[in-house]
Amino acid sequence: MPQNILIIGATRGLGASLANAYASQPDTTVFGTTRSATAPIRLDNKIIWIPYIDVSESSVGAKLVNQLGSLGGGGRRGGMTEEGWVTAFDIVIITAGYFATEDFKTGPKWDEEVKMYTTSSISPPFIVQSLFKAKRLTGGSRVRLISSESGSIGLRHAKEGGGNYAHHASKAALNMVDKLTEMTAGVGFHKYWDDGGAVTPGEAAKTLVEWAEKLDMSKSGQYWAPRGPRDIGTADVAMGTNLPTPLQLPW
């Protein structure tokens, strides 16, 4: 079945891997946002790029809707199907993020914290509401806010050593945004790089695409790690052993 997908933050990391994965599927049109004027290289040439979209700007929602209008709206390549102009997206994925380290000894960083909060948790409701008002989202649309296990208060443990205040807190705030919108699950991918080890964007994208195909509204507003506990360094001490995959995470 043809589907139209919009990915916010599609130029690198998980967003780029998701864009490539979906663009490789038949009957799928992928729109991706970029902050620059030109499309990134080494990504699938079928991706339709929306330039000058910066999630740290207060005008991001309005600018996104305007840019979509100049492209003929969200929908099939060229904007036209047998039924006419397609204006709504089947799936919207918001995965843009920013990470900076902080610790208590050297102190928190004001500008870095503002950027992390703005990118991770302030911009998503503005983007979603703008798309909804512009009729780019309908009753059948699905919105996926990509969070991280780092936003779970229940998974924090002394073995991590504390710090990275805005990284964790901005993801926790995103989880609250997701819970309040109740549109789809805040899907967790780990950001804890020590005992858990790092997941490559390609691995994470493959798992997310496969798992998301099985999502229904029963998981709306929930917090899941599709790869289970294997990449979460504090899962055993915070939640116990013999945990299932996928794993529903504590808030």
Mean pLDDT by 10 residues, the chain (251 residues): 91 92 93 92 92 96 92 47 60 89 92 94 94 87 85 83 89 86 43 43 82 78 81 83 88 76
Q: Read off the tokens for 183.
A: 């549109």
Q: Read off the tokens for 42.
A: 């080494």
Phi, psi dihedral angles at 103 (to 5 degrees): -145, 165
Task: Give the CA-trace dihedral at 175, 176, 180, 184, to 10 degrees.
Answer: 0
Which pLDDT does position 34 carry in this prediction?
95
Which pLDDT does position 182 carry in this prediction?
65
Which pLDDT does position 232 carry in this prediction?
80
- DSSP helix/strand/coil, 186: strand
| DSSP tag of 213 | T
Which pLDDT does position 218 carry in this prediction?
77
Angle between helix 165-181 and helix 123-133 axes, rounded to 10 deg: 30
Nearest CA to 86 among 76, 95, 71, 77? 76
Nearest CA to 120 among 103, 99, 141? 99
Where do runs of H (alpha helix) occur along 118-156? 123-133
Beta strand pairing status for 80-81 and 48-50? unpaired
Which pLDDT does position 215 carry in this prediction?
76
Q: Read off the tokens for 167.
A: 């990284």
- Contact between 55 and 127 under an 8 Å Cβ cutoff? The reply is yes
